[in-house]
C-alpha cells in the first residue's frame, strides 16, 4: 500500500492527515457495478425479444394486407398489437436491410409502401 499525505486545499475539503490508497483497487469492480451489468444485459435481451417479435408481427401484417401496406397503416396495426415504436422501427429497418421487405415510394399517396420480398 502506498500512503499519501493530503494537505489542506484552498476549498477546505480535507484537513491534513493521511489517506491510504491501494493501487490495485481500480482492478476490482465495485459490488454495485455487477448489478448494473446484469441489468443492462437484461434490457438487451428484452429488446432483442421485442425486435424479433416485432419482425414476426410486421411480416404477418404485410402478408395479411395483400402484400402492400403504407408505413402509417403498418405502424398503426403493429402498435395496436402492443409493439413499442422503438421496436417497430428497429425491426422494420432490420427487415429492409436484410432484404426480406422492400421499401417503395408511392407517389399517389406520397408515402413509403412496404412489400415483403
Q: Pairing state of beta strands 18-21 and 101-106?
A: unpaired
Pick the CATH number of 32-116 from 1.10.10.10, 1.10.240.10, 3.40.80.10, 3.30.750.24: 1.10.10.10
Q: How far apart are CA 117 and CA 115, in angstroms?
A: 6
Q: Which range has the worst mean pLDDT, 31-45, 56-70, 88-102?
A: 31-45
Q: Which residue has the higher pLDDT, 19 or 82?
A: 82
Strand ranges in 1-117 using DSSP code E only, listed in sequence order: 2-5, 18-21, 69-70, 101-106, 111-116
pLDDT higher than threshold 80 for residue 2? no
What percentage of the chain reaches a pLDDT higher than 90? 35
pTM: 0.57
Q: Which band of pLDDT confidence, cut at 50, 70 and 90, is reported for residue 18?
A: low
Contact 91, 100 (CB under 8 A): no
pLDDT for res 11: 54
Contact status, residue 87 vs residue 50, Cβ threshold 8 Å: yes
Amino acid at each position: 500500500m502506498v500512503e499519501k499525505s493530503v494537505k489542506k486545499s484552498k476549498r477546505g475539503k480535507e484537513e491534513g492527515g493521511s489517506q491510504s490508497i491501494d493501487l490495485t483497487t481500480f482492478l476490482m469492480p465495485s459490488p454495485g457495478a455487477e448489478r448494473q451489468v446484469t441489468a443492462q444485459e437484461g434490457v438487451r435481451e428484452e429488446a432483442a425479444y421485442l425486435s424479433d417479435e416485432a419482425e414476426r408481427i410486421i411480416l404477418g401484417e404485410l402478408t395479411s394486407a395483400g402484400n402492400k401496406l403504407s408505413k402509417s397503416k403498418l405502424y398503426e396495426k403493429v402498435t395496436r398489437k402492443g409493439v413499442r415504436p422503438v421496436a417497430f422501427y428497429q425491426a422494420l429497418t432490420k427487415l429492409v436491410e436484410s432484404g426480406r421487405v422492400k421499401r417503395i415510394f408511392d407517389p399517389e399517396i406520397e408515402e413509403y409502401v412496404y412489400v415483403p420480398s
